[in-house]
Chains A and B, each alone.
Chain A
Amino acid sequence: MWCPSSWKGRGNLWKVPGNFPVVDPDKVAAAQQGDALALDELLDELAPYVRRLCARIAPAAADDAAQEALLAVFRGLPSLRAPAAIMTWVRSVTVRTAIRLARQHEVEAAAEETLTDSRASSPEGLVDIDDAVARLPVSQRVVLVLRTREGLSEQEIATALGIPVGTVKSRLSRARAAFRKAWDS
């Protein structure tokens, strides 16, 4: 399986990261019942994961994306039917929120770019792998990050994004090609 060679040197990037939170379903159930101290602890456990995902998918709007994702997660918590499945749900809410914020930021940045320069869309000035990934279009960046940095399967990515597996495969293929082109140039 392909991944940027320098990522391989950073440990096994194909496994789910060790700091993926394991949340006690009883705590989730208590939080759903309005136990504020359980909610507080749940926030401690979920926030680092949500922030990490947002930093990878929406690097230019990470703080806003994380706050919006956590608001959406906690607002929706009372209606979550399966407390044991909370992480799948949190991942899906976070990824979709991060994509929305990343796209919004790109639109704003593009508007500003017309007044300044086109540095962000050009390979010139690439500093490192993360920079190259951050410059990919959002739809490609998100599948590459989820596959290579978060260790999700194509099926899991499809579920998180609400798109067919075939679309995940094609976006991954385009993302890898775009990354190689940017990195080799």
Chain B
Amino acid sequence: MTYPVTSSDIDPVDRLAILAAALPGAAVAQRRIAAPFDAVWRVIADPGATPRYEPGVAHVRVIEQRGERLRLLVQDTAGREDVMDARLRPGWCLMQSATVVIAFAARRLGSQTLLAHLEHQRSQTPAPRRSQPHDRSAALAKIDQELRAIETLAIQNRH
């Protein structure tokens, strides 16, 4: 016997849980998506698809890319622009501006996909204000809605 084989990389969904542990107040939810990993990830990796599941976003453009590191220009529905730095690779997408952190993590489940989504207001760290139950449930409801919208897009994208 030798030591058990462990994969060199952390599973993306497990990675998201670790990231969330360091971001007090982060809202995280998962959904089993009825579409294969590749179809789901095409939606996440396409900046043009973001406004179709994120209601506050009007437009996203990649303004710089080096390997898996990107810089994005995000315009909200009120016309305000914000720059986000990101890391993007299959199964893992982490975006951050001065005020918000957004992350997606995906795991293959046969012909389906487990998709986890995190949203975090950076002003909550390092000393988070005590979030009200309705704040948290609203954040989780928003994430759930986004995951459902992504599922719809991924199913359309399946072929």
Contact = CB atoms under 8 A, between A and B. Distances in A.
Grouping DSSP codes into helix (H, G, I), strand (E, B) and loop, the A interface class, with mixed when no group exceeds half, is helix
A10 to B, nearest CB: 12
A48 B9 CA distance: 8
Grouping DSSP codes into helix (H, G, I), strand (E, B) and loop, the B interface class, with mixed when no group exceeds half, is mixed
Interface stretch (B35-43, B72-80, B120-128, B129-137): B120-128
Contact of B126 (A34, A51, A71, A75): A34
B63 interface: no
Nearest to A63: B6
Contact of B10 (A35, A43, A62, A75): A43
Most buried by B among A39, A43, A56, A75: A39
Interface in B84-117: 85, 87, 94, 96, 101, 103
Contacts, number: 80
Contacts of B3: 55-56, 59, 62, 130, 134
Contact size range, A: 20 to 34
Nearest to B15: A43
A74 B21 contact: yes
Interface in A74-112: 74-75, 77-78
Contact of A47 (B10, B22, B96): B10
Interface of A: 31-37, 39-40, 43, 47-48, 51, 55-56, 59-60, 62-63, 66-67, 70-71, 74-75, 77-78, 127-128, 130-131, 134
